[in-house]
């Protein structure tokens, strides 16, 4: 999906959100993850300009127009939703790619703050639009890194490359096995329909903000844990017992999550590749939630309630997804039980006085692409 040799004047591009089957906070630890792309996507209608300006609008923010000189983006004081697309334009320019001017109109169907990578979908839709508009010699790997750099350096969220990788590289009907340590990926068949299963996503309606300190603090703690073990990254630790050498109990818990989460990803990938009943991965998903709740300490009462209720109502496995401190869960359900499980979660939320959750079934979908 590299750029063609011929620029285009305008078009519409789309990039999806993602949900992880398993593998949270492993990307910046050189570990493994297994996301799928969602059918919900961000679209970017883009047109080439020639006046040195970038103009950005969003259907979700009617009446707002951000109009800035590309040459001045490095010192832009714009905050909020527009900083994500501006960051992508700036990153292209910073890397020496000529953007003579561009008009961007965004429309997002990925729930914001739900842990489903709405920000990466914005970044990737803009990045692929710019690549095609100006026939820029940018590979998929570079496109992913441009999105990551925009989020890290321009927006200020210390994320890894999981979200952008999923948004760009996923294919319909498959999960994407990502090996961040080696920079490799592979498609893994993930057809739940054939076995009478569905993947229920429950947005708990408790938005999170990755720019806030919790995510960055976890990343720093992982780096400190690796240093305590004398390794470059926690990817190098393959036995959970090794983390017991860490004296600090908080760092020990953080390391234990990463080491065991990597093992869970590999176990799920092996099970799916082996062609067995996908129901067998359910307990592994549930174990992942316990690890995120107890060792990484990024769950919330809403996320825990959704997981516990889904399991009590018959889900084969359930876990929180995303960066944590809010967002969504997934539940592996029998197709004929999905509505019942979703209703049980809604009832449980009402009883607890929580905001009403939003639910939908996730189907493995295609990655970033031009749509018109």
Q: Is pLDDT of 4 > 60?
A: no
CA 78 → CA 65, 104, 153, 225, distances in Å?
11, 16, 14, 36
Q: Mean pLDDT for the chain?
A: 95
Q: DSSP 3-state assignment of 17?
A: strand
Q: Which of 109-113, 170-174, 239-243 shows the lowest per-residue confidence on average (mean pLDDT)?
A: 109-113
Question: Is the pLDDT score of 3 beyond 90?
Answer: no
Looking at 1-5, 128-132, 248-252, which range is the least confident one? Answer: 1-5
- What was the pLDDT predicted at 210? 56
Residue 235's pLDDT is 97
pLDDT at 1: 43
- Give the residues across from 15 on adjacent strands: 42
Specify the CATH number of the domain 190-362: 3.30.70.890
For the chain, give the percent of residues with pLDDT over 90: 91
Question: Residue 48, SS3?
Answer: strand
Q: Are 35 and 322 in contact (CB under 8 A)?
A: no
Give the DSSP letter string of 303-363.
HHHHHHHHHHTT-SEEEEESSSSS-EEEEEEEGGGHHHHHHHHHHHHHHHTPPPPEEEEE-
Of the pLDDT bands very low, low, confident and very high (cuts 50, 70, 90), residue 208 is low
Region 158-173 average pLDDT: 94
Q: Give residue for tokens 């969602």.
A: 38
* Residue 211 pLDDT class (50, 70, 90 cuts): low
The pLDDT, as a whole number, for residue 333 is: 98
Please write the tens of the pLDDT for every residue from 173-200.
Answer: 999 999 999 999 999 999 999 999 999 9
Q: Which of 24, 360, 23 is nearest to 198 (CA)?
A: 360
Segment 19-73, tens digit of pLDDT = 999 999 999 999 999 999 999 999 999 999 999 999 999 999 999 999 999 999 9
The 3-state secondary structure of 158-191, one letter per residue: CCCCHHHHHHHHCCCCEEEEEECCCCEEEEEECC
Three-state SS at 43: strand
Domains 10-186 and 190-362 share a fold: no
Residue 263, classed as helix, strand or coil, is helix
Tokens representing 70 are 């590309």
* Catalytic annotation, residues: 163
Higher pLDDT, 207 or 369: 369
pLDDT at 18: 95
The pLDDT confidence band at residue 112, using thresholds 50, 70 and 90, is confident
Angle at 279 between CA 177 and CA 283, to 5 degrees: 80
**pLDDT for the residue numbered 276:** 87
Nearest partner of 255 among 283, 287, 281, 231, judged by Cα: 231
Domain locations along the chain? 10-186, 190-362
Q: Is 18 in a helix, a strand, or coil?
A: strand
Q: The domain 10-186: what is its CATH number?
A: 3.30.230.10
Render pLDDT for 259-317 as a digit per residue (tens, 0 to 9): 999 999 999 999 999 988 999 999 999 999 999 999 999 999 999 999 999 999 999 99
């Amino acid at each position: 999906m590299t750029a063609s040799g011929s620029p285009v004047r305008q078009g519409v591009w789309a990039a999806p959100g993602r949900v992880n089957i398993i593998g949270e906070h492993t990307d910046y630890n050189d570990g493994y993850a297994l996301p799928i792309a969602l059918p919900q996507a961000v679209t970017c209608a883009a047109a080439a300009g020639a006046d040195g300006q970038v103009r950005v609008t969003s259907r979700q923010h009617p009446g707002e127009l951000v109009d800035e000189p590309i040459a001045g983006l490095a010192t832009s004081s714009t905050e909020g939703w527009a900083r994500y697309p501006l960051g992508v334009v700036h990153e292209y320019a910073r890397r020496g790619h000529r953007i003579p001017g561009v008009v961007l109109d965004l429309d997002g169907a990925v729930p914001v703050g739900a842990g489903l990578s709405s920000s990466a979908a914005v970044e990737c839709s803009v990045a692929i639009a710019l690549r095609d508009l100006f026939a820029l010699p940018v590979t998929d790997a570079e496109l992913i890194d441009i999105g990551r750099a925009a989020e890290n350096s321009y927006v200020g969220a210390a994320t890894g490359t999981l979200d952008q990788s999923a948004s760009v590289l996923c294919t319909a009907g498959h999960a994407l096995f990502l090996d961040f340590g080696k920079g490799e990926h592979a498609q893994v068949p993930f057809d739940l329909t054939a076995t009478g299963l569905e993947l229920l996503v429950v947005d708990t309606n408790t938005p999170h903000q990755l720019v806030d300190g919790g995510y960055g603090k976890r990343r720093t703690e992982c780096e400190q844990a690796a240093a305590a073990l004398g390794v470059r990254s926690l990817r190098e630790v393959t036995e959970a017992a090794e983390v017991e050498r860490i004296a600090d109990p908080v760092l020990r818990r953080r390391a234990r999550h990463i080491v065991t989460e990597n093992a869970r990803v590999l176990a799920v990938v092996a099970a799916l590749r082996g062609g067995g009943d996908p129901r067998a991965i359910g307990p592994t998903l549930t174990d992942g939630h316990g690890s995120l709740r107890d060792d990484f300490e990024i769950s919330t009462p809403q996320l825990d309630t959704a997981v516990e209720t889904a399991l009590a109502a018959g889900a084969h496995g359930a876990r929180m997804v995303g960066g944590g401190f809010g967002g969504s869960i997934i539940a592996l359900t029998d197709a004929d039980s999905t509505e019942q499980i979703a209703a049980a979660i809604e009832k449980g939320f009402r009883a607890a006085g929580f905001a009403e959750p939003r639910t939908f079934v996730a189907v493995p979908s295609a990655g970033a692409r031009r749509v018109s």
